[in-house]
Copies of this chain bind each other. A is one copy, B any other.
Amino acid sequence: MSAAKSRRSGAASIDLVLCAVRGGRLHVLVTTTSAQALPFARCGAEDDPEAVARELARHASGQPAAWMAQGTVMAAKRHPGDAPLSVPFVGVVGPAVEAPRGMAWHPVQALPSLAPRQKAMAESALTTLRLHMDAAPVAFRLLPSVFTLSELQQVYELLLGRRLHKASFRRALQAAYLVAPTDDWRSEGRGRPAQLFRYAPRRRHAGHRSVRFDLLGR
């Protein structure tokens, strides 16, 4: 009911790296029954890989992934299902999703002992998220439907791996017409309450920005 669904050798496996932000760190859902592993399933000839991955996510976390993308196919190293080829899917859910029985969230920086191929897939999840976060609302899918701008900034800082400036972040966000304020505020203990926002992208007049040379270094 947890990880392996079928271990027939000779077929590719679909592996799920389900991610969530908990306590300011990126976590991955790992099965804890017997050996620890990422959820995976055999992909039959009739199966659609993404459909299998979405079913895995629904089954493993109790709800569908809020966003999902394919990672880099791996063939090297050992896989718990002895699959010759593994197709990883990186999924994303909000921070309030609790791990069901037999599952647990683990920080990516402190993973339990996984089969080496699955360990490699989990460690490359952040790279996959970074690859897509400019073109897909990955950060918003890692948040609840309503969130504060500080929470959004923290997710972006986590994904980018560096600190951002508050004022600049908010100005850029406002210029992009991506969020809409709600009427609610949240008091998080000490400090001024924060206004809650919702992801509500509006049509913008074709932001034709220049080329990105700044990420090319080799």
Instruction: Show the binding face of A for B, using Cβ within 8 Å.
Output: 10-12, 43-45, 47-49, 70, 72-76, 84-85, 87, 131-132, 134-137, 156, 160, 162, 164, 168-169, 172-173, 175-176, 178, 201, 203-204, 207-218
Inter-chain CA distance A208–B48, complex, in Å, is 39
Cβ A172 vs Cβ B210 within 8 A: yes
Apart from A47-B75, A137-B218: 12 A-B pairs, beta carbons within 8 A: A10-B11, A12-B84, A48-B76, A73-B73, A135-B216, A162-B208, A164-B211, A176-B216, A178-B213, A201-B218, A207-B215, A209-B212
**B residues in contact with A70, CB < 8 Å:** 72-73
**B residues in contact with A172, CB < 8 Å:** 210-211, 213
Known: A210-B164, A212-B134, A213-B172. A48 touches B75 (CB 8 A): yes
**B residues in contact with A134, CB < 8 Å:** 134, 212, 215-216
Show 26 A/B contacts (Cβ-Cβ < 8 Å), sorted by A.
A10-B45, A44-B84, A45-B75, A49-B74, A49-B85, A70-B73, A73-B87, A85-B85, A85-B87, A131-B131, A134-B215, A135-B216, A136-B216, A160-B211, A162-B208, A164-B210, A169-B210, A172-B213, A178-B216, A201-B216, A201-B217, A203-B217, A204-B217, A207-B215, A209-B212, A212-B212
The distance from the CB of A84 to the nearest CB of chain B, in whole angstroms, is 4
Cβ B73 vs Cβ A211 within 8 A: no
Inter-chain CA distance A197–B48, complex, in Å, is 46
Cβ B175 vs Cβ A213 within 8 A: yes
Inter-chain CA distance A162–B210, complex, in Å, is 11
Which of B49, B169, B176, B216 is in CB contact (< 8 Å) with A73? B49
